[in-house]
Structure 1
Amino acid sequence: MAVKIVEVKNLKKSYKKRKTKEYITAVNDISFTVNKGEILGLLGPNGAGKTTTIKMICGLVVPDSGAITINGIDNQSKRLRAQEHISAVLEGNRNLYWRLTVRENMEYFAGNRGKSRKEVTSQIEELLHQFRLKDKENEMVNRLSRGMQQKLAIAVAMLAGSEVILLDEPTLGLDIETGYEVRELLREIVREQKRTIIITSHDMDVIQDLCERTVIINSGKVVTNDRVENLMKLFEVRAYVIKLDGHLSEEQHHLLLEKFPLLVYTPDTFQSTLEVELTQSQDIYELFDVLKLEQIPVDTIDRKTINFEQVFMKIVKGETQDAVSERA
C-alpha cells in the first residue's frame, strides 16, 4: 500500500489585483497526494495556479484555506518542522551563490540546515562524484555551464537530507546530453535513496520519461490525477491512421467531418490517409459505414503514435472531459 508523504487538501488562494478591489482566484479547491518514493509530475499551463501551489507547498505563500501536510506535519501551524522534510530547486530564483565555489555552496547551504562542515564532508565528496562535479569543486559557480549549475542546485537540495525534493523545470535550458544525465541522476536518487521527487516542467518528454503519475492543474483546479501510462493508453486506443487505396468523395469527406471534427484527410496520387480520433470505440463502425459508400479499399489500419505533450494539450483544452476522470 502506498504511503502518502505529501497531502494537499482543499487548497484555495486568491490575490487582489493592483489598483483595483477585484480578486483573482489562483487556486480553487485543489487536493492531491504524493506517495513516498515516487516521481510525480505537477503540471499546468501558464496561469493555471501551478506556481502558486508550488509556493504554498514550499511554505513561501500562505493559503487562504485548506491544508498541506508534509510527512504528517502541518505546513502552517508547524511550518519550520514540515519544511525540514522538503527541499526545492525553483526556476527563476537564486538557488546558488554565484560568487562562491561549488564546494563552498554545498557547505554554506548545509550550514543553513544546521549541519557542520565536518558533519557533511563525506556526503559532499560523494555528491561531487555522483554529479560529476569533482573536477569543478573549486570553480566559481558563475563560471559554470547552465547544466553544471543545475546539477549543483540538485546536489545542494539532496544535501539537505529531506525525503521530498521539489524540482521546478530541472532540465530547462540544458543541452540534450546534460538533460539525459540529469534524468538518470533523478532516477538514481529515487531508486537507491528512496527519495520522493515532485517535478514541474513544460518539457513533456521529461514527464513521460520520468514520472509514474501526473497531476494536471488548469484554471486553479485539478483536471487530471492519474498514472502517465494510463493517460497514454487512453488516447492511444482512440487515435488511428487509416491508409486507403483511393480517395474520398466530397460527400464522404463532409460526412466524416460532421462526425469526426478532428479528422485529418491527406489525399495522395493514388492513395489517401485518414487520421482520426474516436470518442467511443464503437464509432469505428460509423467510420467504416461512410467508407463503404464508395467501396474504397482499406490498405492498413494502425494506432496513431501519440506522445505525452499531445495528451497534456488535449486535457488542458478540455477535449477529454468525458474520457478522463480524476483518480487519487
Structure 2
Amino acid sequence: MKAVEVRELRKSYPRKIPFPLRKVEWVEAVKGITFDVKKGELFGLLGPNGAGKTTTIKMLTTLLEPSGGTARVLGYDVVKEAREVRKRINLVAEGERTLYWRLSAYENLKYFARIYYVPKAEEKERIEELLKLVGLWERRNDLVMGFSRGMKQRLAIAKALINDPEVLFLDEPTLGLDVQSALFVREFVRKLVDEEGKTVILTTHYMAEAEELADRIAIIDHGKLIALDTPEGLKRLVREGDAVEVRVRDFQQAKLEGSPYRLAVIEEDPSSNTLTLRGSVDEEELPKLVEWLVKSGAKVLSVERKEPTLEDVFIKLTGRAIRD
C-alpha cells in the first residue's frame, strides 16, 4: 500500500469581480494533478509561490475539500474518511501559526497531547523525548513568545510528532529561517525518514533544499504537475554542458519575453545595473545567444558553463526561474 495516492486532484476558488460587473469568477489553483508517494519516502513538491503546493497539502491533510479528483492517505479517502486520515498524519507550516505564544513550550506540547488523545501514562515521557529531540528541553518552561523564529519552528515540528504520525506534511518548513535553523530542520527531517521510517511530504520553493532532501520531486507550476522524478533523473533533462550562466549589464529584462532562448534572471544588482541570466543552451547556440544579447543592447560581462541544477530543469520546462 502506498502512503499517498493522488488522482486528477483539482481545486477551484471563487473570486468576486467588483462593481460594475458584480460576478464571481472561478480560479483553478490545482489542475488535475496525479502522483503517488511511497511509504518511508521523502517526497518533495517543488514550485514557485502560488504554484498550488500549499493548496495540494491542505487537501491531503483534510483542511480543504477537493473540487474534483481523489486523494487517499494510507488507504483512506481524504473526504469520505477524513477522521481516519487525521489520526495518522500531522502538519508543520510556519511555527507562529500553530503555537500558543502565551504558553510555555512544555504547556504547548501538553495541550496538543490532550487533543490527540495521547495516553496519560505516555504523555510526560513523550513530551520530554520530543523537546530533547528538537533541542528545547532546557527552555521547556519559557513562554513561546520569547522564542526566535527558528525555535518556534523546532517546537512546531515537536508538536507535529506528538501523535507519532505515519505521514508528516511539511509546508515550507524553512521559510524565513536563519541559516543555522534551516540547517537543523533539514537534518532533522532527513533523520525522521532514514532512522524513524516516517513518510514525509515536503513543499518548498528552495531548489537546493529539494535537491538535498528529497528522494523524488514533483515540480508544480500554475497548478499543474510538469515533471516527476528523482533529483538526478530531473537533472538529466538538461544535458551535461548545456547549463549556461551569463552576466550582463544594461539589459532590459522585459526583452527576455521575446527571446528565442529560454533564459531567466536568477540574480539582479540594481547598483551596477547588472543581471545574471541562466538557461539551457547547447554549444552551437551559445555564439548566437551572445550575438542576440549584444543586439538587444546588453554588455556581456561573462559567460560560464555550469553543472546542471534543478533551477535549469525548471527554466527548461517553464521558461522562467522559480523565483519569478
Deviations 1:179-228 (A, max 9, x none): 11111111111111100111111222211111111111222211111111
Letter in 2 for 1:12: R
Q: Does 2:82 match 1:102?
A: no
Q: Percent identity?
A: 42
Written as runs of structure 1 = structure 2, the 5 A alignment for 1:21-100 is: 21-91=24-94, 94-100=97-103
User: Structure 1 stretches of 5 or more lacking a match?
Assistant: 243-257, 263-274, 289-301, 320-328
Task: Please tell me whether the aligned partners of residues 40 and 197 of structure 1 are also in contact (alpha carbons under 8 angstroms).
Answer: yes
Aligned residues: 282
Deviations 1:58-83 (A, max 9, x none): 11111122111110011111111112
Written as runs of structure 1 = structure 2, the 5 A alignment for 1:161-310 is: 161-239=164-242, 277-278=280-281, 284=283, 304-310=306-312
User: Structure 2 stretches of 5 or more lacking a match?
Assistant: 17-21, 246-258, 264-277, 288-303
Letter in 2 for 1:316: T
| Pairwise CA distance, 1:232 | 2.0
How much is the aligned-residue C-alpha RMSD, in angstroms? 3.3
Give 1:315's match in structure 2, choosing from 313, 317, 321. 317
Deviations 1:116-157 (A, max 9, x none): 443222222222222111111111111111111100100111
Taking structure 1 as reference, are residues 150 and 207 closer, same or farther at Cα in structure 2, changes over 3 Å only?
same
1:4 alignment partner in structure 2: 2
Task: Please tell me whether the aligned partners of residues 236 and 305 of structure 1 are also in contact (alpha carbons under 8 angstroms).
Answer: no
Q: Which has the larger radius of gyration?
A: 1
Deviations 1:13-72 (A, max 9, x none): 212212423211122211111111111111222332222211111111111221111100
| Pairwise CA distance, 1:92 | 8.0
Q: Distance in 2 between matches of 1:202 and 1:179?
A: 14
Task: Please tell me whether the aligned partners of residues 46 and 210 of structure 2 are also in contact (alpha carbons under 8 angstroms).
Answer: no
Give 1:120's match in structure 2, choosing from 118, 123, 137. 123
Look up the SS of the partner of 1:167 in the other structure.
Answer: strand
User: Normalising by the residue count of structure 1, what TM-score does the alignment of the two structures yield?
Assistant: 0.76
Q: Distance in 2 between matches of 1:217 and 1:162?
A: 26
2:299 alignment partner in structure 1: none
Taking structure 1 as reference, are residues 313 and 118 closer, same or farther at Cα in structure 2, changes over 3 Å only?
farther
Letter in 1 for 2:78: N
Letter in 2 for 1:144: F
Deviations 1:81-136 (A, max 9, x none): 11212100123862111111111111111111111443222222222222111111
